[in-house]
């Protein structure tokens, strides 16, 4: 699919179908969950600060945004 075809509904649906059939969404979701867990574990080892809190808020927001 070429960039110029991004507004072609049939082409967009074709790509969505291929991604769904290949398990791409599930893979990306599992990978994201693992990275979020890793990030929160790393942050838990840092001393308290507004920067740490901001990063935790950002990670939490990205998780909640998916729902």
Q: Answer whether residue 22 is part of any domain.
A: yes
pTM over 0.85, yes/no: no
Residue 55 confidence (pLDDT) above 90: yes
The total number of structural domains that make up the chain: 1
- For residue 1, is it within any domain? no
- Mean pLDDT, the chain, rounded, equals 87
18 in any annotated domain: yes
pLDDT digits (tens, 9 = 90+) for 20-49: 899 988 998 899 899 999 999 999 999 999
- The domain of 42 spans 8-66
CA distance 49 to 64: 22
Q: How far apart are CA 7 and CA 24, in angstroms?
A: 22
Sign of CA dihedral 39, 44, 47, 50: positive
pLDDT of residue 10: 87
Q: Please report whether residue 14 resides in a domain.
A: yes
Question: Looking at residue 4, what is its pLDDT?
Answer: 64
Cβ-Cβ contacts under 8 Å for 18 (sequence gap 6 or more) = none
2 in a structural domain: no
């Amino acid at each position: 699919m070429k960039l110029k075809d991004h507004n072609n509904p049939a082409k967009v649906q074709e790509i969505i179908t291929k991604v769904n059939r290949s398990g791409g969404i599930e893979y990306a979701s599992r990978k994201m969950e693992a990275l979020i867990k890793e990030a929160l574990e790393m942050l838990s080892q840092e001393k308290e600060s507004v920067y740490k809190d901001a990063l935790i808020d950002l990670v939490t927001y990205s998780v909640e945004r998916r729902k």
